[in-house]
């Protein structure tokens, strides 16, 4: 398999890196808007400890919403099923930044991966502490998962998100108006914008995602039961209003970020990280999705 | 495994058939409202051809929305990906009978399992024919899948659904107003109410569901690619606005019906049918879901 | 005043009948789509019994939603305030044919002038009778109000509306699904499509509208209290989602129809009918609104 | 008339001040929650310069949303019809603090009287200045209108509103996310919370409202054309989602505040201020509405 895997990744990289139809790079903050759209990287970390990469797998990119998986794991570790009193587990049927559902369901976000839900999760992780303490716990977790301490937060990106984050401020205050925020909105968003500004390579991300493979995979960060539940949430809600489409085409639990990265999981077998900055109309990496679809088909990895 | 499987099913049946908290039986038509809520049945059909049952596995119940999986398979067989021009593949974020999304998205239902989507699928199967011809094709398909010709439609139930089906008539006319209905609304709904009125036992349903197991499973009704896509849709949309919850708790593709049945699939391994008439607040079988959750856990069958 | 009034109407007619920017004629049924958009008519019926007209004031046009005012008056005469259990009195904030509000407010239309509300009003007028009996009462009322028996329903238009009326069928069945329809949906819609298909001239319409002038105006069809309430509803809800705009620009209670007519009321002083087939984006007569605005300003007739 | 007017007001005061069914006092901030619900006041200022009062007409109450009429008049004076690019003129069909419409219409509030619309109006008045400058202009305007310099802002109330104003912060940031806020959200809300915290008596409010009577009424603050338009907006949108009901029952342009006050206008004749702290379910003064309804009927003042 190793030879075959490397060949598949190389072929995907060769075919996709010159694809002219790459989607649109996120431009709501300059730090993301200036990223070269022609980059592409893919890494697979297998359950037996192997790492396979192709493309720009040593270039760091902004993880953005992919970090929501890690903060969710931490929040569940801290609060257990209490968290579900504050946030639901259903696909939203609306855009990641829609506030309509939040009003209809009186301040309880549909799931932990839409922005409002991730703000609640971050609030749960913050838990009365200072943002830097919560961020230290977050970095600790993701570094331990990747077994790599060279993972950092880009403070410029976090600052820029704050300056352009009116929609997220609206969500945080709206949550607060329903009593569903325990900490000060500014502190919660400070923490949120910072963990989203984590930068890593596909190699680091694929390694960090191994804790979701389950089975006897190393390192064990959370229980197998919780791994399955995190994967279920990633499959049903991980791509916002494109989650059904991703499940249909790829058939794997995965979480996308507006920086163009996607973290995918093959239960029992592998963790996958892809990165291509251009996004489709739902805000998910266009070529990243195609790479995942092709890899899953060639490896026969669909969970279905 | 055979001995173990039978033991598990027997234990589930023993524990659940006396559970006092059984949910509410659907009462919008008398034929469903009069069903004895104390019944319970479970059947597993494995990829290697074995059948295991416990409880009232020879009692027929109304399949209702579970038939949407079969009409979807037929519609895709007739029209292929053209179908997706008329209906989406995303979870709805709303109740099975909500019309709000349909107005917001200008007459294109979110997925083939909400009522409006299933009406479109039925319209595609009807394809200019008379309802009895489309229903003959439907019965043919489900009987061939189950390898059992003793599966029938209860005309009384269909008639009663028609008499109480104002909400579905509203959906059909609404679809027609957007040009998303090719046949006369009355004919489409006549066909729709009839296929939903199919009655079968859990044994028959589990056998009919084998075509979704994939792998080399017998009988092969649709391609493996299509099987995977049907399963993806069942997992993300099969339980209406409780789909995320079902994925989180059970971790298997499944489709529920208001008659209290659930058809679940363990890709590559088994097809499962459970039946208990009482429903939870999302309209899915309460004890049926619990049985599925327990079976999946004990057999380690979650796809995640 | 008589001389002045005729001069004002003549000037409005002269200026508007050659206006090139006339809006779009409704085209959802051929009978409306074929109407010559270059026609224009205006008639004022004063409290003291005078009639002033300009333009095509002897040409008949399709009253459409303007008849909702008359069926509402009849329904209130039959049922009094009981009607308000079934329909609200608030502006909708949505299009005349939106079904979203109806789901959110569980089958109670926002007001009697959106389509769903007018269907409920028609259902109240029908009251278990045959459609022709209800229509006879309706014609009786409008003819008595106009003191003119030469007002008729165009059966071809009614038939065409029925054939293209899927959206209204959706509304009727949706109302029925919430138990807010007493008669069979087909009968209610048959009655609804027929009264909407009433044809009259601006002269006839202005005369028919005199019962809304109030004061000691002849003929007295309903009490002064009810007149005021009908006018309040026309002002807040008479132009669908353009009601606020009409109140802002014109400042008079009025009801528009998709045939291009508008019936306006100057409390205590006059009834106004204008007709120009081209519609603005909210479905209200474009030049009709401009004529009303100009007339109200020149006569100093705004209620504000 | 003078004697009659005083008798009517006295009778209303006598009847309503002991009414046991007074609605609920707003309690979202302690300053409002502590107001004695048994107070009642009514004042009429006529076009000919007379003032008639009954009840607690020298007790100050929090004007709250009633100030939106004054800031709207100022904003229109500064920017004219440019303002309407940023805010609509239609009733909302939703609660005063709903954010759903704002997402559906991409950041353009429905009218200047829902919270989001009043925030935009305040932003237009602020116009790059410091809040205290804008507030000075606002106080100048309302004092000139009332010809009374003893009208002030309660800074404690403004502070308390800020501390409990998450929903309004959500609206402001949401507007900013669509580019529909020119000034910093904190500054706009600081200004907004302060002008809402204006305290005055019914005597002062009725006098301040005289500029909306129109005709040759003293003092003339804005043109007659604008007066009519302000009145049209008050009639269609002045009572949030109870505006249709108020128009139906009372038939006068009016604006309510959560402090229990209502400012009403009888075009050409009078300005009315009522105050009773208890609110109905739409957030409008319960007894204040009843007082308005009775006064309008006895004086035959409905505009309809």
Is there a single domain that holds both residue C144 and residue C30? no
Is there a single domain that holds both residue C146 and residue C245? no
Contact D245 C101 (CB under 8 A): no
Backbone torsions φ then ψ of D221, nearest 5 degrees: -100, -35
Looking at the complex, does the CB of residue D295 fall below 8 Å from at least one CB of chain C?
A: no
Is there a single domain that holds both residue A149 and residue A136? yes
pLDDT computed for residue B216 by the predictor? 77
pLDDT computed for residue C218 by the predictor? 81
Question: Which residue of C89, C101, C251 is in closest CB contact with D245?
Answer: C89
Number of domains in chain A: 2
Contact A103 D98 (CB under 8 A): yes
Q: Which of C83, C88, C93 is the best mutation test for D, with the most CBs of D within 10 A?
A: C93
pLDDT computed for residue D41 by the predictor? 98
CA angle, D94 then D95 then D99, to 5°: 80
Is there a single domain that holds both residue A106 and residue A130? yes
Residues of A in contact with B90 (CB under 8 A): 91, 93, 241-245
Give one DSSP letter per residue of C96-107, joined into a string.
Answer: TT--HHHHHTTT
Q: Print the domain residue range for A49.
A: 2-63+199-299
Band of pLDDT at residue A94, cut at 50, 70 and 90: confident
pLDDT computed for residue B95 by the predictor? 82
Contact A167 D174 (CB under 8 A): yes
Band of pLDDT at residue C2, cut at 50, 70 and 90: low
ipTM of the complex: 0.95
Q: Per the domain annotation, does D103 fall within a domain?
A: yes
Task: Choose one of B198, B216, B233: the last residue of a domain.
Answer: B198
Between CA D172 and CA D184 the distance in angstroms is 9
Q: Per the domain annotation, does C94 fall within a domain?
A: yes
Kindly state the average pLDDT of the residues D234-254.
96
Residue C226: closest C-alpha in chain D:
D248
As a whole-number percent, the residues of chain D with pLDDT over 70 amount to 99
Is there a single domain that holds both residue B76 and residue B162? yes
Give one DSSP letter per residue of D221-261, joined into a string.
Answer: -S-HHHHHHHHHHHHHHTTGGGHHHHHHHT-S-EEE-TTSE
- Mind telling me how many Å the CA of B102 is from chain C's nearest CA? 9
Taking alpha carbons only, the member of B64, B80, B3, B8 closest to residue B31 is B64
Kindly state the average pLDDT of the residues C133-148.
98
**pLDDT of C1 strictly over 60:** no
- Mind telling me how many Å the CA of C166 is from chain B's nearest CA? 5
- Tell me the C-alpha to C-alpha distance, in Å, between residue D83 and each of C148, D74, D177, D186, D194: 47, 11, 19, 21, 21
pLDDT computed for residue D93 by the predictor? 81
Please give the annotated binding residues of A for substrate, written as ranges.
65, 115, 161, 168, 192, 240, 258
Task: Choose one of A158, A175, A198: the last residue of a domain.
Answer: A198
Kindly state the average pLDDT of the residues A159-170.
96
Q: Per the domain annotation, does D262 fall within a domain?
A: yes
DSSP classification of residue D304: -
Contact A229 B248 (CB under 8 A): yes
- Mind telling me how many Å the CA of B86 is from chain C's nearest CA? 18
B65 is catalytic: yes
Band of pLDDT at residue A216, cut at 50, 70 and 90: confident
pLDDT computed for residue D92 by the predictor? 87
Between CA B169 and CA B166 the distance in angstroms is 5
Q: Which of B97-101, C258-262, D152-156 has the lowest mean pLDDT?
A: B97-101
Looking at the complex, does the CB of residue A100 fall below 8 Å from at least one CB of chain D?
A: yes
Q: What is the total residue count of chain A?
A: 304
Between CA D274 and CA D259 the distance in angstroms is 11
Looking at the complex, does the CB of residue A96 fall below 8 Å from at least one CB of chain D?
A: no
Is there a single domain that holds both residue C149 and residue C79? yes
Residues of C in contact with D228 (CB under 8 A): 251, 302, 304
> Is D248 annotated as contributing to ligand binding?
no
Our measurement of the distance from residue A268's CA atom to the centroid of its chain's CA atoms, rounded to an integer in Å, reads 19
Is there a single domain that holds both residue A69 and residue A194? yes
- Tell me the C-alpha to C-alpha distance, in Å, between residue C109 and each of A64, B174, C80, C172, D94: 44, 17, 17, 11, 14
Q: Per the domain annotation, does C304 fall within a domain?
A: no
Looking at the complex, does the CB of residue B269 fall below 8 Å from at least one CB of chain A?
A: no
pLDDT digits (tens, 9 = 90+) for B201-213: 999 999 999 999 9
Contact D248 C232 (CB under 8 A): yes
Looking at the complex, does the CB of residue B109 fall below 8 Å from at least one CB of chain C?
A: no
pLDDT computed for residue B2 by the predictor? 64
Is there a single domain that holds both residue A167 and residue A185? yes
Q: Per the domain annotation, does B147 fall within a domain?
A: yes
Q: Per the domain annotation, does A304 fall within a domain?
A: no
**pLDDT of C156 strictly over 90:** yes
C240 is catalytic: yes
Q: Per the domain annotation, does B304 fall within a domain?
A: no
Task: Choose one of B169, B198, B227: the last residue of a domain.
Answer: B198
**pLDDT of C187 strictly over 70:** yes
Taking alpha carbons only, the member of D96, D33, D138 closest to residue D255 is D96
If you count residue pairs, one on C and one on D, with CB atoms under 8 Å apart, how many are there?
Answer: 104
Q: Which of A99-103, C228-232, D144-148, D223-227 has the lowest mean pLDDT?
A: A99-103
Contact A99 D170 (CB under 8 A): yes
pLDDT computed for residue D94 by the predictor? 82
Between CA D279 and CA D28 the distance in angstroms is 13
8 A C-beta contact, residue C39 and residue C275: yes
Residues of A in contact with B236 (CB under 8 A): 91, 235-236, 243-244, 247-248
- From the list B44, B52, B53, B65, the catalytic residue is B65
pLDDT digits (tens, 9 = 90+) for A230-245: 999 999 999 989 999 9
**pLDDT of A154 strictly over 80:** yes
Question: Which residue of D101, D231, D243 is in closest CB contact with C236?
Answer: D243
CATH code, domain with D112: 3.40.710.10
Is there a single domain that holds both residue C44 and residue C75? no
DSSP classification of residue B285: B
pLDDT digits (tens, 9 = 90+) for C124-136: 999 999 999 999 9
Angle between helix D131-146 and helix D115-126 axes, rounded to 10 deg: 100
Contact A170 D167 (CB under 8 A): no
Is there a single domain that holds both residue D126 and residue D20? no
pLDDT computed for residue C86 by the predictor? 98
B258 is catalytic: yes
Contact C90 D227 (CB under 8 A): no
Looking at the complex, does the CB of residue D97 fall below 8 Å from at least one CB of chain C?
A: no
Q: What is the total residue count of chain C?
A: 304
Kindly state the average pLDDT of the residues C179-200.
98
Cis previous bond, A152, omega within 30: no
Contact B111 A237 (CB under 8 A): no
Q: Per the domain annotation, does D304 fall within a domain?
A: no
Contact C100 B98 (CB under 8 A): no
Is there a single domain that holds both residue B57 and residue B205? yes
pLDDT computed for residue B215 by the predictor? 78
pLDDT computed for residue D1 by the predictor? 57
pLDDT digits (tens, 9 = 90+) for D5-56: 999 999 999 999 999 999 999 999 999 999 999 999 999 999 999 999 999 9
Q: Which of A270-274, B145-149, B290-294, D219-223 has the lowest mean pLDDT?
A: D219-223
Is there a single domain that holds both residue A77 and residue A47? no
Contact C173 B185 (CB under 8 A): no
pLDDT computed for residue D21 by the predictor? 94
Kindly state the average pLDDT of the residues B187-205.
98
- Mind telling me how many Å the CA of B169 is from chain C's nearest CA? 6
Looking at the complex, does the CB of residue A94 fall below 8 Å from at least one CB of chain D?
A: no
- Mind telling me how many Å the CA of A250 is from chain B's nearest CA? 9
Band of pLDDT at residue A1, cut at 50, 70 and 90: low
Residues 163-192 on D with a CB inside 8 Å of A are 166-167, 169-174, 176-177, 185
Question: Which residue of B100, B169, B176 is in closest CB contact with C100?
Answer: B100
Looking at the complex, does the CB of residue C106 fall below 8 Å from at least one CB of chain B?
A: no
Band of pLDDT at residue D160, cut at 50, 70 and 90: very high
Better-scored residue on pLDDT, D93 or C85: C85
Burial class (CB in 10 A: 0-12, 13-18, 19+), A1: exposed
If you count residue pairs, one on B and one on C, with CB atoms under 8 Å apart, how many are there?
Answer: 51
pLDDT computed for residue D175 by the predictor? 97
> Is D161 annotated as contributing to ligand binding?
yes
Contact B228 A94 (CB under 8 A): no
Question: Which residue of C103, C104, C170 is in closest CB contact with B173?
Answer: C170
Residues of D in contact with A185 (CB under 8 A): 166, 169
């Amino acid at each position: 398999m190793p030879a075959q895997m490397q060949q598949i990744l190389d072929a995907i990289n060769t075919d996709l890196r010159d694809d002219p139809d790459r989607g649109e790079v996120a431009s709501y903050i300059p730090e993301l808007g200036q990223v070269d759209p022609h980059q592409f990287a893919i890494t697979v970390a297998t359950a037996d400890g192997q790492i396979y990469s192709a493309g720009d797998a040593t270039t760091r990119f902004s993880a953005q919403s992919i970090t929501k998986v890690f903060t969710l794991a931490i929040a569940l570790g801290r609060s257990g099923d209490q968290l579900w009193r504050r946030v639901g587990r259903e696909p939203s049927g609306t855009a990641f930044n829609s506030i309509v559902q939040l009003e209809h369901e009186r301040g309880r976000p549909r799931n932990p991966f839409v922005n409002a839900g991730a703000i609640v999760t971050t609030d749960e992780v913050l838990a009365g502490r200072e943002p830097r303490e919560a961020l230290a716990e977050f970095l600790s977790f993701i570094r331990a998962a990747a077994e790599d301490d060279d993972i950092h937060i880009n403070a410029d990106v976090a600052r820029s998100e704050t300056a352009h984050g009116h929609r997220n401020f609206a969500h945080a205050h709206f949550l607060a108006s329903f009593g569903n925020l325990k900490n000060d909105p500014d502190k919660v968003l400070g923490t949120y914008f910072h963990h989203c500004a984590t930068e890593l390579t596909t190699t680091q991300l694929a390694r960090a995602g191994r804790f979701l493979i389950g089975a006897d995979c190393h390192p064990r960060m959370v229980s197998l039961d919780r791994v399955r539940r995190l994967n279920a949430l990633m499959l049903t809600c991980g791509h916002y209003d494109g989650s059904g489409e991703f499940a249909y085409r790829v058939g794997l639990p995965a979480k996308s970020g507006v920086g163009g990265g996607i973290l995918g999981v093959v239960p029992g077998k592998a963790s996958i990280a892809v990165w291509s900055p251009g996004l489709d109309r739902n805000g998910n990496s266009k070529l990243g999705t195609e790479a995942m679809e092709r890899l899953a088909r060639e490896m026969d990895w669909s969970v279905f």
